[in-house]
Every structure is written in structure tokens, then in C-alpha cells.
Amino acid sequence: MSNGRGRFITLEGAEGVGKSTHLPFVTDFLRARGLEVIQTREPGGTALAEGIRGLFLAAHEMPPESELLLLFAARASHLREVILPALQRGAWVVCDRFTDATYAYQGGGRGIDAAWIAELEARVQGELRPDWVLVLDAPVAVGRARAAARRGVVDRIEGEGDAFFERVRQVYRMRAQQPGYRLLDASGSIDTVQLQLRQILEDILSHERS
Ligand code: Z5A
């Protein structure tokens, strides 16, 4: 690789697109090529951040600003305790959601000004951004039907309506136009999505080696 630092890959997308399903595939693919890989998630990844996740998902009302600040409080802990140390020792970090989710859910979904999110991003993360963002995309009805078929208790975010998840999806699709992002069609079978993932991961590895 071009320097000693590991690489930071995030999986993103709206509800039920298959992030949790495909995370082990990504991790196993990279490990099979001899890389040290840490698999983690947001909100979460440390004792403090998992505690915040419980609060965040709890089924009661919460102002959008509280959501935003809780997410960055969790992220600060996750970064300092898990993500940065791993990257610094050369490990690759594969994370189920990161700050793109904040732009999509709190920005698109809740209507918080993206400039405020960007300010917190700069303060909490400094220069750190994911090296690669894999955005799984599927029509809202497809993702919601999958999530509903699997679901136990509905959390505070899952209880939102289709219009909320349409806004989330549109922010993801727009953000996926940036360099370093890859947009995958996640509406097909698990095998079809993993074929795309394999191709993208091969491309990432050859790019990182060059
Ligand atoms: N959140 C936020 O608002 N702001 C932030 O900054 C961050 C997060 C970081 C985390 O909850 C919530 O936090 C999330 C956003 C918010 N809320 N929502 N919605 P979570 O981690 O519990 O929920 P999630 O991230 O949305 O995960 P999910 O709903 O479980 O979606 P998923 O991981 O993408 O899907 P999955 O569990 O892999 O798949 C769902 C089901 O579909 C499952 O039964 C699979 O077997 C099935 N599946 C998956 N792929 C396929 C295909 N291709 N075909 C058929 N069936 C499939």
C-alpha cells in the first residue's frame, strides 16, 4: 500500500439495503488477502458509544439536534478508541455506517442544515474521512419490506414514514457522486450484490497498490 496507514471503508445505505448482511463478506474478502481488518459499526464500537446507541434508538421523542450531538459524541469515542489506533497500526477498518449516515438521516431525514453537520465533522474528525464509501441503494419499498420481514421491535428511526426514507435515499445517492464513493444496486439477490462488491473491492485493492 502507498503508506503505512490502514484504509477506512464504510458501508452505507437506507434501512434494509443489506449492510449488516454484506459486512462479513467485505471483511472476509480483505482478510483473505492478508490484511488485518477491524469490523465495527456506528453508532457504537466502544462501551460509551454502545450506551449512546441504546439512548439514540430508544423509542421516545428526541429533538433532531439531540440526535446529531449524540451521534457525534459516540463518534468521538469510537474514533479515538478504535478507528484511529487501528488505522495508525496499519489495519483496515470496515464500518457499518459513519458520517454519511448523519448527512442522510439527520440532514436529509430530519432537515438539519448540512453546514452544521460539516462543522461537527471537521471538529470531531479533523481531516479523517473514509477512504472508500460503499453506498448500497435500493428502492425504499424494497429495503423496508426486507427490514419488516426480519424485524422484532421497531426502533425510533425505523418508525419513520416512507417520505423520511426517500429523503435519506436521495442524500445518499447525491453523496455517492463524489470521488471515493461507489454506488451499488442492492435491489437484487444477495449473490448479485456480492458480485458487485467483489468487483469493487478488487478495484480498490488494485488502486491502493498502484
Ligand atoms: N443512524 C443515524 O440516524 N445517523 C447516523 O449518523 C448513524 C446512524 C451512524 C442504526 O440502526 C440506526 O441509526 C439507523 C440509522 C441511524 N436506523 N435506521 N433505519 P441499525 O444499525 O439497527 O439499523 P440499520 O443500519 O438501518 O440496519 P438495517 O435496517 O438492519 O439494515 P441493513 O443492515 O442494511 O440490512 P440487513 O440487516 O443486512 O438486511 C435486512 C434483511 O434483508 C435481512 O433479513 C437480510 O437477510 C435481508 N436481505 C439483505 N440483503 C438482501 C437481498 N439482497 N435480497 C434479499 N434479502 C436481503
Domain extents in the chain: 8-209
Whether the CB of 130 sits within 6 Å of ligand 1? no
Query: What pLDDT sits at residue 3?
Result: 65
Q: What is the pLDDT of residue 181?
A: 98
Buried b vs exposed e over 5-29: b needs ≥16 C-beta within 10 Å? bbbbbbbbbbbbbbbebbbebbbeb
- Choose one of 62, 66, 95, 146 to mutate for the ligand 1 pocket test, by most ligand atoms within 8 angstroms of C-beta: 146
pLDDT at 59: 63
Instruction: Count the residues in the chain.
Output: 210
Q: Does ligand 1 come within 6 angstroms of the Cβ of 58? A: no
**Mean pLDDT along residues 3-15:** 93
Q: Is the pLDDT assigned to residue 1 strictly greater than 60?
A: no
- Which of 56-60, 167-171, 199-203 bottoms out in mean pLDDT, i.e. has the lowest? 56-60
Percent of the chain with pLDDT over 90: 88
Cα separation, 77 vs 45, in Å, equals 8
**pTM for the structure as a whole:** 0.96
Quick one: which of 30, 7, 8, 20 has its CA closest to 201? 30
Atom of ligand 1 nearest to the CA of 158: 19
User: How would residue 58 be classed by pLDDT, with cut points 50, 70 and 90?
Assistant: confident
Averaged confidence pLDDT in the chain: 95
The atom number, within ligand 1, closest to the CA of 99 reads 6
- pLDDT per residue over 96-134, tens digit each? 999 999 999 999 999 999 999 999 999 999 999 999 999
Q: What is the pLDDT of residue 69?
A: 98
Residue 68 Cβ < 6 Å to ligand 1: no
The CATH number of domain 8-209, selected from 3.40.50.2300, 3.30.420.140, 3.40.50.720, 3.40.50.300: 3.40.50.300
Which amino acid appears at position 151 of this protein? Answer: R
d(CA 195, CA 125): 32
What does the pLDDT look like over 142-197, one tens digit per residue?
A: 999 998 888 667 788 888 999 999 999 999 999 999 999 999 999 999 999 999 99
Residue nearest to atom 19 of ligand 1 (CA): 15
